[in-house]
């Protein structure tokens, strides 16, 4: 055990606190400083006996969160106070009433939004989704809850290295699934990029480290190139009457990897590894014209790519982002992205909503960010859907790409990419959507499902006799449209469902089942029904009768080991009076004892290998406890892993392969190359004759001298698979070989 120097720690804590005050000293009044000190003292006392996994005093965390909120997001004194206190109610004996009495109702409300739900949950509830919804509900009153939560998440990600591997994967998956898109939608680009990179560091460590090393290796070369590239631009702008700064930024590791995957190219062929940002300090009234002046200077020096001009000055993004982007060819034959923006635009781009609010008086009309927040607040008012439906609907509103369309009167509307004419109708008004029978796009009649493109002008055609139908849900992608259609459909269903509920209660009595939420939820899962309204509706229509209920009862008696796991892993929360430290200790003990060993002879264990990622012996895997299909084994880097860990972390169990000789597993590989004579024969001969592997299927397509083949083979473990891939790469004409996911 490491001996703690209490006096040294005390000095370090005070240094961190003073550093926090220095971040925005000019903005804090005497009263602000008094309240911040009061919050610091309370947090220090509340967390005095608690340490983080790293061994540091817990108070380091709230101070760091307050620092991020103030320095990196640009929030004020109220947010700093809330950041210092954000874990006090959740982790200590202080209550919201205590916070309200000492700091006022507003701060107590924000703290409430930052405090996780406690209590016991049954197997159908996603605790993460419930907590996320609870946090977002406060957005109706105060967006600072979300911004402080992002600061909290960012610091947790920066210090994730001290957590156990399973926890790292859970937190990183949740970050990439929810928090990074949320940061992007609120305009916090720097935080979004850092969250994505840090998440990738734990979910795909090999790729992350590989790209990171290559960036370090090329750093000197890049710096020299940037200096040469900037020189003529700087020289020319100096001759103009414009104050400016030029910054160079390297693409984030995540965005480099996304480009490598999308373009199917190696790191060395990613042409826009970095971007040059020119920030001009000019009056707001001339900033657009001055940005175009600088654009003209840059494109006079370097030839622009006409397909890569992005004008987000004339039409800002929905999250408030304004900038002028162009990609130009350097004298060295490399493409370079150049971003041009004013100081105001740059602050909004870096600090998102906080900076947008600061400049709101200068922009009297609501921005796209205000419009988005209005839509979210509308969605939050609908509490009928369960937390997972809410989460999915919320994700629909986190689109990073948009289309810009016009009403018949020329009013500009921004919609998520992929939006349809019916989405547009509901965007105008709920009643317009409900009565929509068609639309005219650019004066041409189109169906409700017609997808919109930027520049389209849309006129909605309505009829008072038209009403929403079930199939409309397949025509729309926006949460607003889905919500309005569901609400309209529910009204018709409710009357029938009320009768169905009474019928089901009588039938439960017949088979001696308890009519409670747990049994109802299990019945819904058995019949793959997502909500009680649909269940009662099916009962009323006779689709679920006594025969189906008896079948459910019989099935419910099976799989005792699975039900044991369900109780252990899905009902994870202990009552509130149980200390958090005890809860964590119990969970760790469960995890130690209940690691699923794949390949052992367990006749009573119901598990299958998932077909979405085809795990084989040697892969890093985890088990996922389903409601009706036993345990599914997934690879750690399965395409669905992020979603499963972020929504259902409480259903994840550790899994490993037995050391015994195992059976052959099905794996897929993709091969690309030059279509030389006999190349496919060489590949199959290597697999079958030299390595003695069985090929289940092979599919090859050729096109203008190139070929692409997908092979499914039976193989025992990842070592043999990697050996096979390396051997195939040596065959003349083969350009690329990689493992693929997908159904067998």
- pLDDT confidence bin for 718, thresholds 50/70/90: confident
Element (H, E) at 738: strand 734-740
Summarize the confidence of residues 202-214 as an average pLDDT: 92
**Model pLDDT, residue 157:** 94
pLDDT band for position 660 (50/70/90)? low
Q: Is pLDDT above 60 for 382? A: no
Among the listed residues 12, 56, 90, 370, the single catalytic one is: 90
Q: What is the mean pLDDT of residues 223-247?
A: 91
- In whole angstroms, give the CA distance from residue 416 to residue 397: 8
pLDDT at position 572: 41
Over residues 14-41, the mean pLDDT reads 83
Per-residue pLDDT band for 550 (boundaries 50, 70, 90) equals confident
Distances (CA, A) of 545 to 381, 490, 497, 515: 35, 22, 14, 15
More confident residue, 389 or 144: 144
Give CA angle at 283 (401, 340), nearest 5°.
40
Question: What stretch(es) of the chain map to CATH 1.10.3210.10?
Answer: 6-211
Burial class (CB in 10 A: 0-12, 13-18, 19+), 563: middle
Cβ pair 562, 123 in contact under 8 A: no
Phi and psi at residue 419, in whole multiples of 5°? -65, 150
CA max distance for the chain = 90
Angle between helices 421-428 and 479-510 (to 10 degrees): 90
Residue pLDDT, tens place only, 282-331: 998 899 999 999 999 999 999 998 888 989 898 887 777 889 999 999 88
Contact 509, 478 (CB under 8 A): no
Give the number of other Cβ atoms within 10 Å of residue 8's Cβ. 9
Residue 7 annotated in active site: no
Q: Which long-range contacts (C-beta less than 8 Å, at least 24 apart) are formed by 601-606?
A: 602/561, 604/560, 604/561, 605/561, 605/631, 606/559, 606/561, 606/562, 606/630, 606/631
- According to the per-residue pLDDT averaged within each range, which of 2-11, 69-78, 172-181, 430-439 is highest? 430-439
- Tell me what percent of the residues of the chain surpass a pLDDT of 90: 22
- CATH of range 215-362; options 3.40.50.10190, 3.40.50.300, 3.30.565.10, 3.30.460.10: 3.30.460.10
What does the mean pLDDT of the chain come to? 80
Report the first-to-last Cα separation within the chain, whole angstroms.
51
Region 6-211: CATH code = 1.10.3210.10
Q: Please compute the mean of the pLDDT values over residues 510-532 and round it to a whole number.
A: 81
Q: Distance between CA 83 and CA 97 in Å, rounded?
A: 17
| Residue that is written with structure tokens 């090999």 in the block | 206
> Is 577 assigned a catalytic role?
no
Q: Is the pLDDT of residue 590 over 70?
A: no
In CATH terms, the superfamily for domain 665-740 is: ACT domain (3.30.70.260)
Starting at the earlier edge strand, list the strands of the sheet with 444-446: 444-446, 436-441, 458-462
pLDDT of the residue at 151: 92
Indicate the pLDDT class of residue 595, thresholds 50, 70 and 90: low
Residue 600 has pLDDT above 70, yes or no: no
Judge whether residue 122 has pLDDT over 50.
Answer: no
Q: What is the pLDDT of residues 421-464, one digit of tens each?
A: 999 999 899 899 999 999 999 889 999 999 998 888 999 999 98
Token pair recorded at residue 123: 């197997």
For CATH 3.30.460.10, the residue range(s) in the chain are 215-362
> How far apart are the C-alpha atoms of 553 and 659, rounded to whole Å?
38
- Give the chain's radius of gyration (CA, Å): 29
Q: Residues, the chain, total? A: 744
For residue 710, which phi and psi values (nearest 5 degrees)? Answer: -115, 125
Check residues 604 and 412 and name the one with the higher pLDDT.
412
Helices vs strands, H then E, count in the chain: 30, 20
In terms of DSSP H, where are the helices of 545-691? 546-556, 560-570, 580-593, 641-648, 679-685
Given this model, what pLDDT does residue 291 score?
95
Of the residues 91, 166, 281, 350, only one is catalytic, namely 91
Q: What is the pLDDT of residues 343-366, one digit of tens each?
A: 998 888 877 766 665 565 544 445
pLDDT, tens only, 265-290: 888 877 777 789 999 999 988 999 99
Among the listed ranges 32-36, 367-371, 513-517, which one has the minimum average pLDDT value?
A: 367-371
Q: Which residues contact 695 (CB under 8 A, 6 or more apart)?
A: 684, 687, 688, 711, 712, 713
| pLDDT of amino acid 323 | 92
The pLDDT assigned to 563 comes to: 52
What's the mean pLDDT in 100-129?
71
Cβ burial, residue 743 (10 Å; 0-12/13-18/19+): exposed
């Amino acid at each position: 055990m490491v001996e703690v120097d209490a006096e040294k720690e005390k000095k370090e804590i005070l240094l961190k606190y003073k550093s926090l005050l220095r971040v925005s000293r000019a903005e804090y009044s005497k009263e602000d400083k008094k309240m911040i000190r009061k919050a610091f003292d309370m947090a220090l006392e509340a967390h005095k006996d608690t340490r983080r996994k790293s061994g540091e005093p817990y108070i380091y965390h709230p101070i760091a969160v307050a620092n991020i909120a103030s320095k990196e997001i640009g929030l004020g004194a109220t947010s700093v106070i809330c950041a210092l206190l954000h874990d006090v109610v959740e982790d200590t004996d202080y209550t919201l009433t205590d916070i309200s009495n000492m700091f006022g109702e507003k701060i107590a409300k924000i703290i409430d939004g930052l405090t996780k739900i406690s209590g016991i949950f049954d197997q159908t509830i996603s605790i993460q989704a419930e907590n996320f919804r609870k946090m977002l509900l406060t957005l109706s009153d105060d967006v600072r809850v979300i911004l402080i939560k992002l600061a909290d998440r960012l610091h947790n990600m920066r210090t994730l290295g001290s957590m156990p591997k399973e926890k790292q994967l859970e937190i990183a998956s949740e970050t990439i699934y929810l928090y990074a898109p949320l940061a992007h939608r609120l305009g916090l680009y720097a935080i979004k990029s850092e969250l994505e990179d840090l998440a990738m560091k734990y979910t795909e460590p090999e790729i992350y480290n590989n790209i990171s090393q290559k960036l370090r290796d090329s750093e000197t070369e890049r710096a020299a190139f940037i200096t040469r590239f900037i020189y003529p631009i700087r020289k020319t702008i100096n001759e103009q009457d414009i104050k400016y700064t030029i910054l160079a930024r390297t693409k984030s590791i995540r965005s480099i990897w996304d480009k490598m995957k999308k373009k199917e190219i190696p790191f060395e062929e990613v042409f826009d590894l970095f971007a040059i940002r020119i920030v001009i300090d000019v009056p707001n009234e001339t900033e657009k014209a001055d940005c175009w002046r600088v654009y003209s200077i840059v494109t006079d020096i370097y030839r622009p790519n006409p397909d890569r001009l992005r004008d987000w000055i004339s039409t800002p993004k929905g999250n408030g982002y304004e900038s002028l982007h162009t990609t130009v060819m350097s004298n060295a034959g490399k493409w370079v992205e150049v971003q041009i923006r004013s100081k105001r635009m740059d602050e909004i781009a870096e600090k998102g909503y906080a900076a947008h609010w600061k400049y709101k008086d200068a922009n009297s009309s609501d921005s796209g960010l205000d419009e988005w927040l209005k839509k979210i607040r509308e969605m939050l008012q609908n509490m009928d859907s369960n937390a997972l439906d809410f989460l999915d609907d919320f994700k629909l509103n986190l689109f990073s790409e948009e289309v810009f369309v016009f009403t018949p009167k020329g009013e500009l509307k921004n919609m998520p990419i992929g939006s349809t004419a019916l989405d547009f109708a509901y965007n105008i008004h709920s009643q317009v959507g409900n009565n929509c029978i068609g639309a005219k796009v650019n004066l041409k009649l189109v169906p409700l499902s017609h997808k919109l493109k930027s520049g389209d002008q849309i006129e909605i055609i309505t009829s008072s006799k038209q009403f929403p139908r079930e199939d409309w849900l397949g025509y729309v992608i926006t949460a607003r449209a889905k919500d309005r259609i569901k609400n309209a459909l529910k009204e018709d269903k409710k009357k029938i469902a009320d009768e169905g509920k009474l019928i089901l209660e009588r039938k439960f009595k017949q088979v001696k089942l308890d009519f409670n939420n747990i049994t109802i939820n299990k019945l819904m899962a058995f019949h793959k029904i997502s909500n009680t309204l649909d269940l009662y509706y099916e009962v009323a229509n006779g689709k679920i009768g006594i025969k189906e209920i008896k079948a459910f009862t019989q099935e419910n008696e099976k799989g005792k080991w699975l039900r044991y796991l369900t109780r252990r892993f899905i009902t994870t929360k202990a009552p509130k009076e149980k200390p958090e430290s005890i809860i964590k200790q119990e969970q760790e003990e469960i995890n130690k004892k209940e690691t699923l060993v794949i390949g052992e002879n367990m006749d009573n264990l119901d598990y299958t290998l998932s077909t979405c990622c085809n795990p084989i012996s040697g892969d890093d895997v985890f088990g996922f406890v389903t409601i009706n299909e036993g345990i599914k084994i997934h690879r750690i880097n399965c395409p669905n892993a992020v979603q499963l860990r972020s929504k259902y972390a409480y259903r994840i169990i550790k899994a490993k392969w037995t050391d015994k000789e195992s059976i052959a597993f099905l794996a897929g590989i993709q091969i690309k190359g030059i279509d030389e004579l006999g190349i496919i024969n060489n590949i199959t001969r290597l697999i079958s004759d030299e390595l003695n592997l069985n090929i289940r299927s092979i599919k090859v397509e050729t096109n203008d001298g190139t070929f692409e083949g997908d092979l499914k083979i039976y193989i025992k473990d990842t070592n043999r698979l990697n050996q096979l891939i390396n051997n195939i790469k040596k065959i003349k004409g083969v350009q690329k070989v990689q493992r693929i996911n997908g159904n067998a």
